[in-house]
């Protein structure tokens, strides 16, 4: 482990440990940092794992610091891993100019368009490379669930839909449900995947559900006062329609008054952790 993972920091939290590690990513061709929360139970046994994918502008740190998830993870005995949201330390033209494209905005796809295809393979990083690394390094049981927020909610849905046997359950907070039909998604997919919108469908939760069926267990919370909901970026109604068409088991909860912030996530993260724990 010490050969490939460099410990960046560690903090004791609710009897367990938050540890952040730097490592070389081959698939992203850059150094990356991720955070792992190991509950107290991991001292003596292997534990199930929740992947958390964060939203635009976030790093591995936002969820760990703001979601208040360690308390319940420590109670249930679940590990949580937060990857970063894009390759880092690269300097592609325009990479750092927008909050919604490039650094901090990898959108959990595998880019095909130059120059992004040099580094922007966040899907393969989250689904293949990082799991291989952490399963060799930490006492994980192999039981996995996935969740995320906004761009990371889109990521969680797409990862789960491409790997239906891999994740026992999937949930999301205010996910971008139908990226090929909103401005965030059009900008990101156009940049990373090119102009042929047919290729975008492999990265759109609603299209994947229509093509392959819905996840077996899906919980989504959406704040009623979320300005990105009003702006049409999130479109939970499109997810609901797609799940309805294929008979998918979607629990979509509208939470009146809640916005897009981590205060919304913190308010309901306990429900999500218990939801995932029930499905492990």
Residue numbers of the site for a copy of itself (CB under 8 A)?
11-15, 18, 65-66, 68, 70-71, 223, 225, 257-259, 261-264, 266-267
Q: What angle do CA 139, 142, 148 make, to 5 degrees?
A: 100
At its nearest, how many Å lie between a copy of itself and the CB of residue 67?
9
Q: Are 22 and 33 in contact (CB under 8 A)?
A: yes
Retrieve residue 243's tokens: 């799940």
Residue 205: both structure tokens together: 């939760």
User: In the bound complex, what is the minimum distance in angstroms from residue 156's beta carbon to a copy of itself?
Assistant: 23
Least distance to a copy of itself, CB of residue 211, Å = 36
Which tokens sit at 37?
């929360």
Between 111 and 174, whose beta carbon lies closer to a copy of itself?
174
What phi, psi does 238 have (nearest 5°)?
-70, -40
Nearer to a copy of itself, 57 or 98 (CB): 57
Q: Which is nearer to a copy of itself, 26 or 43 (CB)?
A: 43
Nearer to a copy of itself, 211 or 225 (CB): 225
Residue number, 35 or 87, with CB nearest to a copy of itself:
35
Residue 232 structure tokens: 């049409």
Select from 51, 276, 48 the least CA-distant residue to 169. Answer: 276
DSSP 8-class letter at 13: E
Catalytic amino acids?
Answer: 150, 226, 260
The 10 Å Cβ neighbour count of residue 77 is 18
In angstroms, give the least distance from the CB of 217 to a copy of itself.
25
Q: Hey, what are 61's tokens?
A: 């740190």
Task: Please state whether the peptide bond connecting residue 115 to the residue before it is cis, i.e. omega within 30 degrees of 0.
Answer: yes
Q: Backbone phi, then psi, for 173, in 5-degree steps?
A: -110, 120
Q: How far is the CB of 152 from a copy of itself (least distance, A)?
A: 18
């Amino acid at each position: 482990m010490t050969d490939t993972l460099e410990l960046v920091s560690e903090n004791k939290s609710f009897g367990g440990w938050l540890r952040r590690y730097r490592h070389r990513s081959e698939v992203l061709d850059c150094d990356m940092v991720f955070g792992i929360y190991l509950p107290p139970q991991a001292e003596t046994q292997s534990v199930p794992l929740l992947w958390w994918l964060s939203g635009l502008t976030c790093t591995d740190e936002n969820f760990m610091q703001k979601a208040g998830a360690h308390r319940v993870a420590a109670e249930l005995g679940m590990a949580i891993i937060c990857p970063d949201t894009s390759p880092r330390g690269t300097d592609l033209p325009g990479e750092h100019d927008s909050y919604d494209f490039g650094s901090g905005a990898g959108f959990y796809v595998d880019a095909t368009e130059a120059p992004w295809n040099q580094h922007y393979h966040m899907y393969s990083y989250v689904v293949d490379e990082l799991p291989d690394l952490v399963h060799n390094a930490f006492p994980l049981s192999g039981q996995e669930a996935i969740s995320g927020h906004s761009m990371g909610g889109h990521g969680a849905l797409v990862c789960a839909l491409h790997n239906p046997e891999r994740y026992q359950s999937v949930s999301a907070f205010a996910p971008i449900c139908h990226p090929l039909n909103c401005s965030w998604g059009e900008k990101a997919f156009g940049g990373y995947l090119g102009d042929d919108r047919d290729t975008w469908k492999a990265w759109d939760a609603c299209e994947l559900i229509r093509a392959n069926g819905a996840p077996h267990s899906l919980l989504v919370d959406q704040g009623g006062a979320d300005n990105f909901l009003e702006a049409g970026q999130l479109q939970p109604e499109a997810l609901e329609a797609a799940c309805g068409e294929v008979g998918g088991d979607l629990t979509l909860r509208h939470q009146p008054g809640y916005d897009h912030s981590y205060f919304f996530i913190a308010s309901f993260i306990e429900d999500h952790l218990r939801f995932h724990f029930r499905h492990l």
